[in-house]
Structure 1
Amino acid sequence: MTTRHILIIDDEYDIRAVAELSLKAVGAWQVSTAASGNEGVTKAVAEQPDVILLDVMMPDMDGIATFKALQAHPATNKIPVILLTAKTQAAEQRRFAELGVRAIITKPFKAMKLPAQIAAALNWES
């Protein structure tokens, strides 16, 4: 089985740390992190992860702008993106889904279940 590589883009250190620990310990995945949309796009281009876990609410370049930048770049437009958001209203969830993201995971998430949620969204064996 090949090791999956995930890039977590979230401005909150605690969220990045919990997700990274869970994905490494439970999922046995390679994890990269970025604290901003700009840093995330740069890392995605350079590292070519298998999937990106992207926070919606970030300062400067929010998750939607980051997603659009990833989609516009030929090196990253095929990488599946899963949004991570505290916005749970149906209209917001529909708007996010219409963007073409692979899935939406709501905050707060259950750290021990995060690898299985991501794997299920991508039809990967967990």
Structure 2
Amino acid sequence: MTKALTKILYVEDEPDIREIAQLVLENVGGFEVKAVDSGHKALDIINEFTPDLVLLDAMMPEMDGMTTFKEIRKLESFAQTPIAFLTAKLMDDDIKGFLSLGAIGVIAKPFDPMMLSDQIMELWEETQG
């Protein structure tokens, strides 16, 4: 039986994008979303929030998405948690880099707000197969 996706930790430094994504994921997707503006904040709250999935922006100041990904993987409780990137970095090499880290997928920015929840569910279902 597949585990239901209910809680998403979203890490995005751009306030407008963070707000829109959180709004649609909660209101269209019905997910419980914790949105933070940095990798450091994500690491501070991940144990308390215990997300089913982490959605990361790739380009952020201080700690970028790839570094945040690696830091989350060091936490025993989240070593297997599905992580996807929501990013404008969409060159083939970028995408290969994210997938080689172990990301379950890459969603392009700018994203279609009405499609975002479906895109995340598709990635989730692939991990549950």
TM-score norm. by structure 1 comes to 0.93
Unpaired segments ≥5 residues, structure 1 = none
* Contact 2:87 2:109 (C-alpha < 8 Å) held by counterparts: yes
What residue number does 1:69 align with?
A: 71
What residue number does 2:123 align with?
A: 121
Residue 55 of structure 2 is aligned to residue 53 of structure 1: yes
- Report the Cα distance in structure 2 between the residues aligned to 1:115 and 1:50, rounded to whole angstroms: 14
Deviation at 1:69, TM superposition (A): 0.1
What residue number does 1:14 align with?
A: 16
* Contact 2:9 2:35 (C-alpha < 8 Å) held by counterparts: yes
Equivalent pairs counted in the alignment come to 124
Unpaired segments ≥5 residues, structure 2 = none
- Report the Cα distance in structure 1 between the residues aligned to 2:77 and 2:61, rounded to whole angstroms: 24
Deviation at 1:78, TM superposition (A): 1.8
Q: 1:98 aligns with which of 85, 97, 100?
A: 100
* Contact 1:3 1:28 (C-alpha < 8 Å) held by counterparts: no
* Contact 2:39 2:65 (C-alpha < 8 Å) held by counterparts: yes
What residue number does 2:46 align with?
A: 44
TM-score norm. by structure 2 comes to 0.91
Question: Which amino acid counterpart does residue 92 of structure 1 have in structure 2?
Answer: D
Deviation at 1:3, TM superposition (A): 6.8
Question: What root-mean-square deviation, in Å, do the aligned CA atoms of Structure 1 and Structure 2 show?
Answer: 1.6
Identity %: 37
What residue number does 1:25 align with?
A: 27
* Contact 1:3 1:30 (C-alpha < 8 Å) held by counterparts: no
